[in-house]
Amino acid sequence: MTPEEAVLVGERRAVISGVGQSDVGRRLFRDPLALTAQACLAAIADAGLRPADIDGLATFPGGMDTPPGFSGVGITDVQDMLRLQLSWYTGGLEMPSQLGAVVAACLAVSAGLARHVLCFRTVHEGSAQAGGGRASVTPGGGGGSFRATGFMEWTLPFAAPSAAIWVAMFARAHFDRYGTTREQLAQIALNARRNAARNPKAVYRDPMTLEDYLSVRMISEPLCLYDCDVPCDGSTAIVVSAAETAPDLRRPPLRVEAAGTAIRGRPSWDQFDDLTTMACRDAGAHLWTRTSLRPADVDVAELYDGFSFITMAWLEALGFCGPGESGSFVEGGARIALDGELPLNTNGGQLSGGRLHGFGLLHEACVQLWGEAGERQVPGRPEVAVAAAGGGPLAGALLLTR
């Protein structure tokens, strides 16, 4: 990339100035708006700002009542709670993954529409699903007059309401074509649990062995229970600021080096051209067209693990290994450990840390770059981190530097 081309990378005029996170737990039974307030006020203070400085607001997926606990908090809730005076805001589902809200915030400050954008994501799936278990997620659970529409038209009639089933089919295709094994896939879950033990906020911190993994019940083959992330309650907030505000901030902000937002394949789980990868293939390749850095420059990777196989797909998509090679890449687990060549999902990810839905991984990437990760801090002062979110047709990634 030439200096002239680099000028055109608009996201580079954005920085991350602060992060915050509420209490996180399997089931907190707390008002999701209260959790959101906790995260947002922490992030604003972390940046060295006051709520009056915030003039932009961004979230994924916006306020919605179903599925239960997926999001109870939208833009208007937070704007009104903090009486924010906004120059720009956005919230919605149809964007390049959960991190699409943060990418949009980067573009807003880059374009001068806002100076400090508060980005947040709140989940309360743990509490909301406490009564009915995962079955409560299925729309129209009892059938009746409910009729499936949209993408669900092609899945619900076949009793395939869950991403667990869709991801399982991609994992099966990967296993079949490349010889990937459950023992290899297990490393994603085992690594997450090892790291979660060093994260006081993680939902599951007890040690897990390969034997535990191989003997737990199947959900949708080849995915077992430990291949699925854990629904939880919690809120995460990130403040994106215009780079020129750096002197106003509490500490040197993190630079946004590049975003990856592309999707070239068809935007659904069943029609995507290659059933062994996902839209992450396109977003990952796109990211590297916007920077001179290379995969070997990355010191820490926080890659979406709604299901363990999605992390494998991201490892390939971001070029840490070739297509089909993620199984051998993670084999044994040493390479992806905290002291390994590519420390991965250092807070326990969503598999053991809790399903904070993409934002938790970005939060962790920031904390690691600032050297504030405590017991789980990656050694050697990492300088470059990648955070990536989304599975199937959802994919977005951010490359950050300090």
Partner 1 sequence: MSTPFRILPRVTDRNRHFWTGGRDGELRFLRCRRCGTWVHPPAPVCPACLGDDLDVVAASGRARVATYTVNHQAWMPGPELPYVVAIVELPEQHGLRLITNLVEVDPAEVRIGMEVEVVFEAHPDDEVWIPLFRPVRGNGR
List interacting residues with partner 1 (CB under 8 A): 134-135, 137-143, 146-149, 153-162, 164-165, 168-170, 172-173, 176, 217-223, 269-271, 273, 275
At 48, list the tokens.
Answer: 């060295």
The CB-of-344 to partner 1 minimum distance in angstroms stands at 25
**221 or 341: whose CB is closer to partner 1?**
221
The CB-of-148 to partner 1 minimum distance in angstroms stands at 5
Alpha carbons 341 and 335: distance in angstroms, whole number: 5
Could you tell me which residues come within 8 angstroms of residue 262 by beta carbon, excluding any fewer than 6 positions away? 96, 282, 283, 285, 286
User: How does 370-394 read in b/e, with b if 16+ C-beta sit within 10 Å?
Assistant: beebeebbbeeebebbbbbbbbbbb
Query: CA dist 201 to 24, 197, 390, Å?
Result: 6, 9, 22
The CB-of-178 to partner 1 minimum distance in angstroms stands at 12
Cα dihedral 269, 304, 103, 41 sign: positive
**48 or 67: whose CB is closer to partner 1?**
67
At 162, list the tokens.
Answer: 């869950």
17 within 8 A of 49, measured Cβ to Cβ: yes
94 within 8 A of 215, measured Cβ to Cβ: no
The CB-of-323 to partner 1 minimum distance in angstroms stands at 16
336 within 8 A of 342, measured Cβ to Cβ: yes
| β-bridge partners, 234 | 123
The CB-of-352 to partner 1 minimum distance in angstroms stands at 20
Q: How many CB atoms lie within 10 A of CB 7?
A: 10
The CB-of-270 to partner 1 minimum distance in angstroms stands at 5
The CB-of-12 to partner 1 minimum distance in angstroms stands at 35
Listed residue (87, 73, 17) closest to 248, CA to CA: 17
Alpha carbons 107 and 256: distance in angstroms, whole number: 11
**155 or 199: whose CB is closer to partner 1?**
155
The CB-of-394 to partner 1 minimum distance in angstroms stands at 18
The CB-of-57 to partner 1 minimum distance in angstroms stands at 34
Query: CA dist 32 to 13, 35, 123, 131, 361, Å?
Result: 32, 5, 7, 17, 20
**3 or 142: whose CB is closer to partner 1?**
142
160 within 8 A of 166, measured Cβ to Cβ: yes
The CB-of-170 to partner 1 minimum distance in angstroms stands at 7
Alpha carbons 17 and 82: distance in angstroms, whole number: 19
